Amino acid sequence: MSLILCPLLRWDWSNYPYVLAFLFAIEEINKNTHLLPNLTLGFNIYNALHLHHKTLENILFWFSGGKQAVPNYHCQKQKKSVAIIAGTRIEFFTDIGPLLELYKTPQVIYGPFDSLLNDKDHFPSVYQMTTKDNFLVPGMVWLLQHFDWTWVGFIASEGIRSKKFFLALKALMLKKDICLVFTIMLSNSWIRNANIFIQTIDCQAISKVNVTIVYGDADIFMGIHILAKTCGLSSKMWIIATEAYIDLYKMKNIMDLFHGSLSFSPTKRELPGFEDFVRTFNPSKYPEDFYIIQLWLDMFNCSFAGSPCGNLKVCPPNSTLEFIPGTIDLMTMSESSYIIYNAVYVVVQALHEMFLAKIETELTSEAKRPMFLSWQLHPFLRSVEFTNNMGDHIYLDDKRNTEKKYDVLNISPFPAAHGLLVKVGEFVSNGQNKNLVINEEIINWPVELEEPPQSVCTQSCGPGFKKVANEKDICCFRCVFCPKGEISHQKDAQMCTQCSDQEYPNQNQTYCLPKLVTYLDFEDSLGMALACTALCFSIITIAILWVFVKNQDTPIVKANNRTLSYILLISLLLCFLCSFLFIGRPNTIICIFQQITFGLVFTVAISTVLAKTITVLLAFKSVKPGRTMRWLLASGASNYVIPICTFVQVIICGIWLGLSPPFIDVDTHSEPRHLLIVCDKGSVAAFYCVLGYLGSLALVSFSLSYLVRNLPDAFNEAKFLTFSMLVFCSVWVTFLPVYHSAQGKLMVALEIFSILASSAGLLVCIFAPKCYIILISCDKNFSKSLLNKTGHRRNACS
């Protein structure tokens, strides 16, 4: 007679859903006329106890087939089980594996994949139902990334599986720049050595972490409870791995510590007919099952007729597991239960195929059952393949790559109809494709927290900053402003982004603003000042030209070759006016005219000065004996200097236009907030050739005028020509280095200023003394060689 425990000690029924899934599969198969026809499938259920000798004793009971554990003895060959469907504990297989391998008994495992059991040299008879790919690791890392948790801890039960999980987790976290601050591996003996365990705890490191990953069995949660109590931890976030969360039901005393935490669990299945099976499940259906009677005793606090617990009420006949008290959900099939369901079908399908093969090869009578040994099932288990009632394709191949779904569960502090665990998200992994969906609005965070906790080494860098990593730890960093011209529009930016050439950063360097189009305009103060200056000098030049035309018959105008004076004044007027081409919005035609006009009119002006200098030189040389100088002076040879010199400049400008003419361009760098429309020189070498040619003409003019500066004549302008060329050369020699260092509008303004300054220098140095004589010192405007008939001087002012 089995021992019935009256309610002095309550059993742990957290694994009983596995039994229900197993029984449901057996019952479903026995009703199926297409599987194992004319055969009824039986079963035995044994506890895999924590005591090793008890586990071995159960296996010997199973082997002997009797009530005594007799090694190497079989008393019931007909009713002996052909395969074992076993659970998750690796210790179970290390205990019984060698014994089972003696008989090559098939063992189908429904627990998480373990690489040790996949070693066919040591476990050739073991078949694992789950895949070897660890989908839980990427799911947990994705969850950490979703909430930006980069400073986390890890606590796990000591063991090979935990170490492999830890190594995989650590490697992926390192790739994703997530740091493990501390790692605690709890050995099986920590409870016996609790004081030593407490002494090894580094509370300072643990207290800095707000999020900790938990992986292990039930004992680990008591260790976490002691750890939290020792370090005074509260309102911490725990992320619990799938193998561990279900054991929380056993730890009601410490559930408050884990309220608000998140847990990964394989998605539960809704298998057709399973709820009806559980709803009608009762002791009368399986009267020989000792565990069912004990389940009713614990769940409903009642007993059946003949029970030794006579002080309890009799169980009602309509009692059902649908409304059991407590937190265990027996109506829903979990992922592990679903794997057990499939494991039963795997064995039955292999058994069915083996029977068919025997029928085809042997003459077996209908009355005689086919006989076989367990080891004969292996070839059929290796090749088994079928589609179950859910439409899932089932086959035993550890190399397959199947889709894995996990529910993300929130441990709610408010028990409701769905219990303590509330689904708040889902993680789906199918090969390389992974997807995490989280509904943050329905998550109950740990006590005292109304939003997701932060778990980082350094607080986030705001927009406008970038992270500079710590040399020792990649998760620790400092925040620095983005460099000039760059922005960051999100938190914790690894690097700042350069704004495009058409944009500039706002003041906080968080986003880019479009640059405004600008150019040296007449409305600008600088543009207006230059335009007014050019206009004033143009008016002055016109006025001087008018004075010279009006006084064209006076000695001072005649003496300095009035034709050349007119040409020089007109060319200077054009020089002043050409500066207007540099002000205002440029286009391609204006860009070409800017440089060509500047080069040609200045060439005319300088060549005119050169012609005037040559004229003075020939005039004084002609008084000496010799007919050549007189002929050159009389023939007006100096007048040919202007077209010849200008023609050379025309050739240079023509080559410039032919090879690389000036064009309109946008300067995006000179002014940070503006797009400056400017004229690009096209060929910088051609531009400097134009300036170089002007400089050579000016240098020749300066040299000649300097030679004739002291020749005796009242109206000798050689001194003024010398000063004008000195001013011209000084302006343009200064222009070159300053022009190279200038940017934006200042570069354009500098070129205009040089044009105006050099032109004004020519105008003032050459014509100011003449205007003074014409307009103010009229008595000096006469020729000593030209006297009137009365012997008196003719007044030039009259």
Does the domain formed by 525-780 have CATH 3.40.1010.10? no
pLDDT at 624: 52
Distance CA 41, CA 89 (A): 26
Q: Determine how many CB atoms are found less than 10 A away from the CB of residue 440.
A: 12
User: Whole-angstrom Cα distance, residue 298 to residue 238?
Assistant: 31
**Greatest distance between any 2 Cα atoms in the chain:** 172
pTM, 2 dp: 0.58
- What was the pLDDT predicted at 648? 92
pLDDT at position 366 is: 47
Rounded to whole angstroms, what are the CA distances from 317 to 281, 320, 331, 342? 11, 9, 19, 32
pLDDT profile of the chain (798 residues), mean per 10:
50 80 92 86 76 68 65 60 76 70 83 75 82 76 90 85 87 90 77 62 81 80 79 82 54 71 79 86 78 79 66 74 68 81 92 84 54 83 85 69 73 58 82 78 81 83 86 82 89 87 90 90 90 94 91 76 87 92 90 90 90 74 51 57 90 91 87 87 89 89 78 63 86 85 85 91 87 76 44 45
Contact 417, 232 (CB under 8 A): no
Class of residue 776 by CB neighbours under 10 A (exposed 0-12, middle 13-18, buried 19+): exposed
Helices (H), 445-587: 525-550, 555-559, 562-578
Report domain 136-269+403-442's class: alpha beta
Q: How far apart are CA 183 and CA 186, in angstroms?
A: 10
Give the pLDDT confidence score for residue 93 in this predicted structure: 66
Tokens of 552: 């064209």
Within 10 angstroms of residue 356's Cβ, the number of other Cβ atoms is 11
User: Hey, what are 423's tokens?
Assistant: 């689904």
CA 319, 323, 324 angle in degrees (round to 5)? 85
Instruction: Specify the domain boundaries for CATH 1.20.1070.10 within the chain.
Output: 525-780
- Among candidates 680, 681, 678, 682, which has minimal Cα distance to 660? 682
The secondary structure element, H or E, covering residue 730 is helix 718-741
Query: What is the reported pLDDT for 793?
Result: 44
Using an 8 Å Cβ cutoff, are 770 and 560 in contact? yes
